[in-house]
Chain A
Amino acid sequence: MGYVELHDINKHFKKFHASKDINISIEKGKLVALLGPSGSGKTTILRMIAGLEQPDSGEILIDGKVVNNTPGSERGIGFVFQNYALFRYMTVYDNIAFGLRVKKIPEEEIRDRVRELLELINCEGLEKRFPSQLSGGQRQRVAFARALAPNPQILLLDEPFAAIDAKVRLELRTWLREMITKLNITSIFVTHDQDEAIEVADEIIVTNLGKVEQSGTPQELYKNPATPFVAQFIGHSVEVRNYEKFKHFNKQGENSIAYLRPEFVSIFKKGESVQFANSAEEAIVEDTIFRGSNIEIRVRIHGNLISAIRSINEPEIRVGELVDVFIYRLYVVDGENVVLATNDSITDEDVVI
């Protein structure tokens, strides 16, 4: 029995079917990501849990109790909005204290609690500032503190990192993950960024077109995509229609399509020791993209532009060079089935997934 459960939830916005038979179970203390492309219904799910939207049918349970008719403010929820929705005309202190004042907690207790939270978010000394006088990262932390102030059982975050620039985003991700682990609060966050979900979440719920496609740990989603959507959505997949032309891969079904991720491909310079020399494809490098921490190399094999990642510590590969390409595995989607196809020449070597 999960701490937060959704049973057969349906929700329409006028004619738009935003949530279709949603069934979710989230365990206490877990950090869960709702991941999906925009318009996939992930925010609607979050807002229904928060009581900001009412489902048309189905039940929402928190701690075993149906909360459909309980107002959001009595569900023990803290909510961090996408653009933080800090009260612009209140100081940081008043923002954090707001939820406590509404609950008519004595002002002394409020003072202690706000101080404690400011310390937690490393924003001591900022209590007199207005939100407009804070950096993006500070705003997010204040929004986090404000949501936590009344001691909620569940923390909901709507695209918590979307409004922050890339560098601070990485820092905040780590920070948020540590904070949530430390507080051991059941947390659900919405994101369209799979790297974010994979890095931060214990568990990911993938949504698409109003439905839940799959839920599981990041590893499970990577290893066993349950639906064609997950297979092509997770990882930076390339669609390959004629995968049977690749050495050591056999056609599975008549209309099957394969998805190939960069991490399933290795590219070697000619003459580099290749573990599976005979099974490698030869290809010409079409493009190389320096990514700072690594280099993406693109080659064309049997008409498919395939990407692979190469370490910056390895010898440089140039555009136009003839290289050996080894494909470890790919996902074959045959109708509604997804099968992981492994290169036949691999015999249970030590590979991570």
Chain B
Amino acid sequence: MGLRKENKVLKIILISISFIFLGIFLILPLIYIIVTALRDGISGYVNAVSDEYAIKAAILTIQATVWAVIINTIFGISAAWLITKYAFKGKKILSTFIDLPVTVSPIIAGLIYVLTFGRQSSIYPFLDSHGIQIIFAVPGIVLATIFVTFPFISRELIPVLTAQGTDEEEAAAIMGAGTFTIFKKVTFPHIKWALLYGIVLCTARAMGEFGAVSVLSGHLRGKTNTLPLYIELLYQGYDFTGAFAASSILVVLAIVVLILRLVIEKRGQKDLDLNK
């Protein structure tokens, strides 16, 4: 009984700490965003949100996110499969390099691409003569977004695939199933929820990316400004209503992603319980 009572006090303390923390660091700023966004009334908010440049920025953000998610999904599945199902030399190195984007500052990531594809690069004449523009253009933004979200999907998949082992795949292979059938029927059901979860994380991170994109974008309003960059621009111009209104779009997108995440986690847990 004593232990139970003690637990109760501890529980209340822990709950209070968590809520105060969440309140100060999350809820309060979010309320502030909404309040500031609505400072000039609903019409002011609507004007700011439906601003031509705001919409273009939102579209560019979604565009970069979609590209990053598609490419990282393909890469993530391939890398995770390679790392968990095959033995080869350099496996450790590959697996370490995948994590690099998380440890490198996004600004550096941006600069790396400027050096690789910019004017001073040795492949620049080739790109230029073929009319391919990467730096200060949409491809650069996509590249930067891919870089910073690089490990998100493979890192979700690797533990799941490791836990599963290779027996089921071998069993299917002995019965004559081809690689694609094995992936579709045997491997994919195992990684389905982890993959979706990875995609959600990747999406969230891609939408909010600022540093690397900022270096590569060139800040051309309506051309290469993503939402985070656009917000920064408005903020520097003392347009607080505009900045916070645009922020609210990102917040809404983030909440959608959060809800998706919850749903996926729940469904995935159910599936896992069934097949434990």
Interface string of B232-276 (1 = CB under 8 A from A): 000000000000000000000000000000000000000000111
Q: Which listed residue, B170, B174, B186, B274, touches A130 by the CB 8 Å rule?
A: B274
B174 engages A88 (CB within 8 Å): no
A88 engages B275 (CB within 8 Å): yes
* Residue A15 is within 8 A (CB to CB) of chain B in the complex: no
* B contact residues around A345 at 8 Å (CB): none
- Closest-by-CB residue of A relative to B168 is A85
* Residue A225 is within 8 A (CB to CB) of chain B in the complex: no
* Residue B185 is within 8 A (CB to CB) of chain A in the complex: yes
* A contact residues around B174 at 8 Å (CB): 50-52, 72-73, 77-79
In A78-94, which residues have CB < 8 Å from any B CB? 78-79, 81-83, 85-90
Partner-contacting stretch, out of B12-20, B22-30, B175-183: B175-183
* Residue B171 is within 8 A (CB to CB) of chain A in the complex: yes
A99 engages B175 (CB within 8 Å): yes
* Residue B114 is within 8 A (CB to CB) of chain A in the complex: no
Task: Compute how far the CA of A323 lies from the CA of B168 in the bound complex, rounded to whole angstroms.
Answer: 56
In B151-201, which residues have CB < 8 Å from any A CB? 167-168, 170-177, 181, 185-186, 189-190
Task: Compute how far the CA of A83 lies from the CA of B274 in the bound complex, rounded to whole angstroms.
Answer: 18
Q: A72-B173, A73-B175, A132-B276 are in contact. Are A81 and B190 (CB under 8 A)?
A: no
* A contact residues around B181 at 8 Å (CB): 102
Task: Compute how far the CA of A77 lies from the CA of B173 in the bound complex, rounded to whole angstroms.
Answer: 11
* Residue A103 is within 8 A (CB to CB) of chain B in the complex: yes
* Residue A150 is within 8 A (CB to CB) of chain B in the complex: yes
- Closest-by-CB residue of A relative to B175 is A99
* A contact residues around B276 at 8 Å (CB): 132
Q: Which listed residue, A50, A87, A132, touches B172 by the CB 8 Å rule?
A: A87
* Residue A264 is within 8 A (CB to CB) of chain B in the complex: no
* Residue A98 is within 8 A (CB to CB) of chain B in the complex: yes
A130 engages B275 (CB within 8 Å): yes
B274 engages A73 (CB within 8 Å): no
* A contact residues around B172 at 8 Å (CB): 87, 98, 102
* B contact residues around A146 at 8 Å (CB): 171
Q: A87-B186, A89-B190 are in contact. Are A102 and B175 (CB under 8 A)?
A: yes
A81 engages B170 (CB within 8 Å): yes
Interface residues on A, range: 20 to 34
A132 engages B274 (CB within 8 Å): yes
In A189-244, which residues have CB < 8 Å from any B CB? none
Number of chain B residues whose Cβ lies closer than 8 Å to a Cβ of chain A: 18
Task: Compute how far the CA of A102 lies from the CA of B177 in the bound complex, rounded to whole angstroms.
Answer: 6
Q: A130-B274, A130-B275, A132-B275 are in contact. Are A85 and B176 (CB under 8 A)?
A: no
- Closest-by-CB residue of B relative to A131 is B275
- CB proximity of B156 to chain A, nearest CB, Å: 18
Interface string of A124-164 (1 = CB under 8 A from B): 00000011100000000000001000100000000000000
Task: Compute how far the CA of A81 lies from the CA of B172 in the bound complex, rounded to whole angstroms.
Answer: 11
B176 engages A81 (CB within 8 Å): no
- CB proximity of A46 to chain B, nearest CB, Å: 12
- CB proximity of A254 to chain B, nearest CB, Å: 48
Interface string of A50-84 (1 = CB under 8 A from B): 11100000000000000000001110011101110
Q: Which listed residue, A89, A99, A131, touches B176 by the CB 8 Å rule?
A: A99
B176 engages A88 (CB within 8 Å): no
Task: Compute how far the CA of A98 lies from the CA of B182 in the bound complex, rounded to whole angstroms.
Answer: 11
Q: Which listed residue, A81, A89, A150, touches B171 by the CB 8 Å rule?
A: A81
- CB proximity of B183 to chain A, nearest CB, Å: 13
Q: A81-B167, A130-B274 are in contact. Are A87 and B185 (CB under 8 A)?
A: yes
Q: A85-B167, A85-B170, A102-B181 are in contact. Are A150 and B274 (CB under 8 A)?
A: no
* B contact residues around A79 at 8 Å (CB): 170-171, 174
A150 engages B175 (CB within 8 Å): yes
* B contact residues around A52 at 8 Å (CB): 170, 173-174
Of listed A77, A98, A130, residue having the most chain B CB within 10 A:
A98
* B contact residues around A72 at 8 Å (CB): 173-174
Of listed A51, A82, A88, A146, residue having the most chain B CB within 10 A:
A88
- CB proximity of A163 to chain B, nearest CB, Å: 12
Interface string of A237-268 (1 = CB under 8 A from B): 00000000000000000000000000000000
Task: Compute how far the CA of A59 lies from the CA of B250 in the bound complex, rounded to whole angstroms.
Answer: 65
* A contact residues around B186 at 8 Å (CB): 87, 89
- CB proximity of A306 to chain B, nearest CB, Å: 43
* B contact residues around A89 at 8 Å (CB): 186, 189-190, 275
Using CB atoms and an 8 Å cutoff, list the residues of chain A in contact with chain B.
Answer: 50-52, 72-74, 77-79, 81-83, 85-90, 98-99, 102-103, 130-132, 146, 150
- The 8 tightest CB contacts between A and B, nearest first, are A73-B176, A85-B167, A89-B189, A99-B175, A85-B171, A102-B177, A88-B275, A102-B176
Q: Can you list 21 A-B pairs, Cβ within 8 angstroms, ordered by A?
A: A50-B174, A51-B174, A52-B170, A52-B173, A52-B174, A73-B173, A79-B171, A81-B170, A87-B172, A87-B185, A87-B186, A89-B186, A98-B172, A98-B177, A98-B185, A99-B175, A102-B175, A102-B181, A132-B275, A146-B171, A150-B176
15 additional A-B pairs beyond A73-B174, A83-B167, A88-B275, beta carbons within 8 Å, are A52-B173, A73-B175, A78-B174, A87-B172, A88-B168, A89-B189, A89-B190, A89-B275, A98-B172, A98-B177, A98-B185, A102-B172, A102-B181, A150-B175, A150-B176
